[in-house]
Amino acid sequence: MEMVDFPEGKRYNTASGRYQRIYGERLQKLVIDAGFTCPNRDGTVGYGGCSYCDNAAFHPGYSIPGKSLLQQIDEGIEFHHRRYPKVNHYLAYFQSYSNTYASLEKLETLYGEALSHPSVVGLVIGTRPDCVDEEKLDYLSSLAGEKVIVVEYGIESCYDKTLLRINRGHDFETARKAVEMTAERGIDVGAHFILGLPGESREMLLDQCSVISSLPLTSVKFHQLQIVKGTRMEKEYDNNPGEFLRLSLNDYLDLVIDILERLRPDLCIERVAGEVPPRFVRETPWGLIRNDGILRLLDKRLEERDTWQGEKYFLSL
């Protein structure tokens, strides 16, 4: 089987390459915090949130609740312009907590404010699968004709046993239904998965690839599990370290490649690893390597193995 002609000369389907191909330019995400909460924190679904979660560890300094959305966007543009001076248009990334967990009227106000910025051409909306309904998705579908609209669901795992263990507050069927409802309306759908959750083996992570490929997703993110200080997962790790798949960077890259080989080749890869400031995490076993360094190592390892995204996907059909 010959390698697919992926964007940017890569051996996997990059999301940045997809934006370049469709819109003719790089679109940079601007993380903003609109002050949402989560049904897994306020008692609607549960209390305390997911066992691994501390949202303070996952957003940049310019993204602070209390600042207006337009101020966060302006500061985010200034922040990213130093690294990407040729970028002209941006996507407002509603990231923290569950960003559809409000009335439709409130969502219309917040999303409309972000889209009013002249440099913002679309939205990326991070949320939970149990925080959408047909009315909200119909509204987002009405925007998708003129703007870039992506709904990104935190799915984390395809295994109900894992979702229960990490206090996720929904099952996988809820995630599947939300993804399907969103895709049916012509909205781009992203999904986030964590690699290394307690109780999950390497074989389980590879087995779920066929399930991921079966979903009508546009893009996917993978993050290695990072043990954040003060979370319930840190206590679980202290009590049962053998339940966790802890990999060296080289072993993790090989796992990611094994996953890429099993994914359908049109699925865009947004991320293969996460970055959390060292002060938040219990340990930094890979040192202080940044995401761009990990991507360079991934490219090199793909070439060494002479493989690519989807190389084993068609063999499994």
Q: Kindly report the CATH number assigned to the domain that includes residue 274.
A: 3.20.20.70
Residue 118 neighbours by CB under 8 Å, 6+ apart: none
Residue 258 buriedness (CB in 10 A; 0-12 / 13-18 / 19+): middle
Average pLDDT, the chain: 92
Token duo for residue 118: 């002249």
| Cβ burial 268-297 (10 Å sphere, 16+ → b, else e) | bbbbbbbbbeeebbeeeeeeeeeeeebbee
Sign of CA pseudo-dihedral 82, 87, 90, 93:
negative
For 62-73, the pLDDT digits (tens) are 667 778 999 999
Q: Does 192 map to a domain? A: yes
CA 32 to chain centre: 15
**Collapsing DSSP states into helix, strand and coil, what is residue 243?**
helix
Q: Does 311 map to a domain? A: yes
pLDDT score for 61: 64
Averaged over 89-114, what is the pLDDT? 95
C-alpha to C-alpha distance for 178 and 127, rounded to whole angstroms: 11
Report the DSSP beta bridge partners of residue 271. 221
Residue 54 neighbours by CB under 8 Å, 6+ apart: 228, 229, 230, 231, 280
Q: Per mean pLDDT, which range of 55-64, 182-191, 216-225 is the poorest?
A: 55-64
C-alpha to C-alpha distance for 12 and 298, rounded to whole angstroms: 10
Residue 111 neighbours by CB under 8 Å, 6+ apart: 94, 123, 125, 143
Q: Does 38 map to a domain? A: yes
For 268-305, the pLDDT digits (tens) are 999 999 888 888 888 888 888 999 999 999 999 999 99
pLDDT at residue 88 is higher than 80 = yes
Angular region, 24: left φ>0, alpha ψ -120 to 50, beta rest: left
pLDDT score for 316: 63
Question: What do you get for the CA distance between the two ends of the chain, in Å?
Answer: 14
Number of domains making up the chain: 1
191: containing domain: 7-316
Q: Does 68 map to a domain? A: yes
Q: Does 172 map to a domain? A: yes
207, 194, 202: which is closest to 165 by C-alpha? Answer: 194
* Under 8 Å between Cβ of 278 and 284: yes
C-alpha to C-alpha distance for 279 and 223, rounded to whole angstroms: 18
Q: Does 2 map to a domain? A: no
**Collapsing DSSP states into helix, strand and coil, what is residue 86?**
coil
* Under 8 Å between Cβ of 100 and 129: no
Give residue 125's pLDDT band: very low, low, confident or very high (50, 70, 90): very high
Q: Does 182 map to a domain? A: yes
Q: Does 270 map to a domain? A: yes
For 159-172, the pLDDT digits (tens) are 999 999 999 999 99
